[in-house]
Chains A and B, each alone.
Chain A
Amino acid sequence: GENVEQHPSTLSVQEGDSAVIKCTYSDSASNYFPWYKQELGKGPQLIIDIRSNVGEKKDQRIAVTLNKTAKHFSLHITETQPEDSAVYFCAASTNNAGNMLTFGGGTRLMVKP
């Protein structure tokens, strides 16, 4: 089955700096890669996603890149703000798996004011 690894597990940045979180996946059939933000005591919220027919996607301060050959994808947050502090999860999915998501281990992002 699919295996998703996420790095780093914790990331501390200064407000205004950029943050990058990386994930690798094992199943070359995976074709959907969402990123979720989870605040303490809440459910995950989808912040951006990318499909395998696209190499990069951007939404304001957030961008995701996908390298299908190397089987890795990354989340980039620019101009970080204290409210970006949360746990971020990457995930991978294939159509063949009935929409099932396989999650990475999570990254705790701390943005210091």
Chain B
Amino acid sequence: GAVVSQHPSWVICKSGTSVKIECRSLDFQATTMFWYRQFPKQSLMLMATSNEGSKATYEQGVEKDKFLINHASLTLSTLTVTSAHPEDSSFYICSASLAGGLHNEQFFGPGTRLTVL
């Protein structure tokens, strides 16, 4: 149980285009989903927290107009990187918290590697 999927697992795009990454909780309902960014050999950096049906809360330094987050249902959150540039290339990972589950537990997706040319 508690499986989180991400799609796509990797994407290559041209500079200036937008890319959408999906995060799904497959066998549970998630009231809260988190989006992280990870650079090579570094730790996970929280970008934003999204609750179903409300606006995402962005961490300091993360541009909300560049990284659009939508959490339309209890099983799906999307991250759209708008007008992507090479510096946006990174490993993006989502996680989900169980609705009604034990506090604090997060289950992570497999990640999406974005390469912007």
Contacts and interface: CB of A to CB of B under 8 A. Distances in A.
B43 A93 contact: no
Interface string B92-117: 01000100000111111111010000
B32 A98 contact: yes
A101 B104 contact: yes
A93 B104 CA distance: 7
Nearest to B101: A99
Nearest to B6: A43
A25 interface: no
B109 A104 contact: no
A11 to B, nearest CB: 15
26 contacts: A32-B103, A32-B104, A34-B105, A41-B111, A42-B110, A43-B6, A43-B93, A43-B108, A43-B110, A43-B111, A44-B93, A44-B108, A49-B105, A94-B104, A95-B103, A98-B32, A98-B49, A99-B32, A99-B105, A99-B106, A100-B34, A100-B49, A101-B46, A103-B43, A103-B44, A104-B43
Interface of B: 4, 6, 32, 34, 41-44, 46, 49, 93, 97, 103-111, 113
